[in-house]
Amino acid sequence: MSRFHMHVAVGDLQRSIHFYSALFGAEPTVIKDDYVKWSLEDPRINFAISSRSRKTGLDHVGIQTESGAELAALQTRLEAADIAGAPQADAACCYARSDKYWSVDPEGIAWEAFHTLDSIPTFNEGQEKVRAGTAREAGLGQDPADKSCCITPEITASGCC
């Protein structure tokens, strides 16, 4: 079973923790100095906030799969519908290592389909420069000065990538 994912960039992490803990009626499952996550069963969502981005607000939404096969099936569905995307294998993102497939909806919202492989001890494992270079090579829009959680596709009116 998949889990809906949403990531919001926030200006004040502590105020946001207070708000979302009250909203969800639950304490976070992961707390770092710059990143917090609630992995909820009701509603079934992986909801994350971080204070690393220069821009606040909705960062991206997504689907967290429980297996690599489920991720591959989701990617296949999108490709069969002629929806452009960009795969990322073994990506260090936030405090996790994941395989991913990025796409962008018609309104320009970045969608991250991913299967988490493992947790990592430091934010992005210091991969900002490598990730930014990889993003440019893959045609993804990532400002090297932005230390946000994930590489998101360049958003254009015609779609992704």
CATH number, residue 103: 3.10.180.10
> Which residues constitute the domain of residue 33?
1-161
Average pLDDT per 10 consecutive residues for the chain, totaling 161 residues: 93 94 93 96 93 88 94 93 90 90 86 93 61 42 50 46 37
What's the pLDDT at 146? 47
8 Å CB contact between 75 and 101: yes
Say how far apart CA 55 and CA 77 lie, in whole Å: 31
Beta-bridge partner residues of 65:
115
8 Å CB contact between 62 and 48: no
Domains held by the chain: number: 1
pTM, whole model, 2 decimals? 0.73
